[in-house]
């Protein structure tokens, strides 16, 4: 998977506009998410090495899953340190990478049965963008952008309400 910073060019500082809402990771959720992934990865690797299955293929599967979970824990720690920022023009991460342009947003889905990250919301876009994922913070697949996971619920709710108000006049 490509690095999310390679997906969309950064915006110049002058074009970023005034910040309407900011969504930061919750430190306890961030630590808990990384700890759970690291524990899962460590357990799978330990299980594969301490009690190797009879079939060599299953040993490789356990090792691959364990190493993948450990890699995901490291990746989640790296990317979940950033925040998401909403301006009148764009939703972007702290480094300036654009996740969605406000003019391209069709709907904000945050209901109980919506397919969304924990404590977050999903944006339905008019056109698809490149796939990307910052574990615990956001994901983008086709015409959908999911925001949330290790973020504060009340900040995510506020950002979703501001986005609703921005797209309502259309």
**pLDDT at res. 157:** 92
pLDDT, tens only, 101-134:
999 999 998 887 778 888 889 999 999 888 988 8
Phi, psi torsion values for 13, nearest 5 degrees: -60, -35
Q: What's the CA gap between 43 and 45, in Å, rounded?
A: 6
Per-residue pLDDT at 85: 92
- Do residues 68 and 79 touch, judged by C-beta distance below 8 A? no
Residue 126 structure tokens: 């008019």
Q: CA 11 to CA 82: how far, in whole Å? A: 16
**DSSP secondary-structure letter at 73?**
H
Output the pLDDT for position 93.
87
At 71 the pLDDT is 97
The strands making up 98-101's β-sheet, listed across from edge to edge, are 21-23, 84-86, 90-93, 98-101
Residues of the chain with pLDDT under 70: 1-16, 170
- CB 94 within 8 Å of CB 107: no
């Amino acid at each position: 998977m490509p690095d999310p910073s390679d997906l969309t060019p950064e915006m110049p500082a002058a074009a970023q506009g005034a910040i309407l809402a900011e969504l930061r990771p919750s430190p306890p959720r961030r630590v808990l998410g990384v700890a759970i992934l690291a524990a899962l990865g460590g357990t799978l690797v330990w299980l594969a090495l301490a009690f190797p299955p009879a079939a060599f293929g299953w040993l490789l599967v356990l090792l691959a899953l364990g190493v993948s979970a450990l890699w995901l824990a490291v990746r989640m720690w790296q990317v979940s340190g950033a925040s998401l920022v909403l301006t009148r023009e764009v939703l972007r991460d702290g480094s300036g990478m654009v996740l969605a342009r406000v003019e391209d947003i069709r709907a904000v889905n945050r209901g109980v049965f919506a397919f969304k990250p924990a404590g977050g919301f999903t944006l339905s876009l008019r056109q698809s963008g490149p796939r990307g994922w910052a574990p615990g913070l956001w994901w983008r697949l086709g015409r959908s952008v999911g925001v949330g996971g290790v973020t504060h619920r009340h900040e995510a709710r506020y950002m979703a309400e501001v986005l609703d108000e921005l797209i309502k006049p259309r």
